[in-house]
Amino acid sequence: MKIFVTGGAGFIGSHVVDLMISKGLEVVVIDDLSTGRTSNLNPAAKLYQIDIRDPKVLDIFLQEKPDYVSHHAAQMDVRRSVVEPLFDADVNIVGSVNLIEAARKSGVKRFVYISSGGTVYGEPQYLPCDEEHPIIPICQYGVSKHTVEHYLYLYHLNYGLDYTVLRYPNVYGPRQDPHGEAGVVAIFVGQMLSGQQVTITGDGEQQRDFVYVGDCAQGNFLGLNAPVGIYNLGYGVGTSINQIFDALKPITDYPLNALHGPAKLGETRFIYLSAKKAKELLGWSPTVTLEEGLSLTVDYHRVAERGA
């Protein structure tokens, strides 16, 4: 069986590639390397360096004839989506539809799409959010990620393309770039290990659902043969940004206290996700605790990012 992983040289995508290869699948990576790194690439995977919006993507699909697609490539910066909404829509919507069309024309069996559980629900009406929660995003990124879910439903209904939507929580772990479009854990770890001043946006009491990257990769593998539909991944509990800072401080031996800056436009105050459906229908549950995951992440950054 062959799987295409878009964004497979990126943070999460590269972990998905590694797991799929370990499970015996043939893996082809589509990545323009705008944010991905060749150092993340598994040597057993084949790389096509190409933008997902490029019409030539269809030629690659027709040539390689993948059985599955795991679509991670995206414009993933919430703040950039607010400032550059046309770019966000072009990459996340137009690029995704280009891939879905190529999947339809080449006979792909299953399209696994990475959506955003942290943004599509907006400010939650109840917590934890399950898949039935109203979709009321408050940033352009959330809108663009959710829009593709509608396309997948349409392509399943009209063309028989099976799909799995995974609404990710806040994912963290090794290979997340502390200098790029990073999550808060990578940013804090990079600053702490370098002795820089950490600044928390807002009061730091905003809460997120933090899940280790390896657990999300496992969700992708289980999603290949899941009932068609949408699944949250998450722990189902909120962790504040202040708690993340406090947990990382002793692990990194960081001597300073955090400063606080202004809150960011378009960011949700509290969000964490119910993964009950994923547990029941995928057999998925997170296995790495926050403490374990943070330690693994710091260990990685000590070596890979700083050469220590």
- For the annotated catalytic residues, the residue numbers are 141
Residue (of 41, 149, 48) closest to 96 by Cα position: 149
Residue 200 pairs in a beta bridge with 260
Spatial separation of the C-alpha atoms in residues 108 and 58, rounded to whole Å = 12
Residue tagged 């459906």 (tokens): 277
Nearest one of 285, 296, 270 to 15, comparing CA atoms: 296
Q: Is the CB of residue 80 less than 8 Å from the CB of residue 65?
A: no
Question: Which of 161, 7, 152, 25 minimizes the C-alpha distance to 70?
Answer: 7
Q: Residue 34 has which token pair?
A: 């705008």
- What's at 193, amino acid-wise? L
Q: 232: part of which helix (H) or strand (E)?
A: strand 229-232
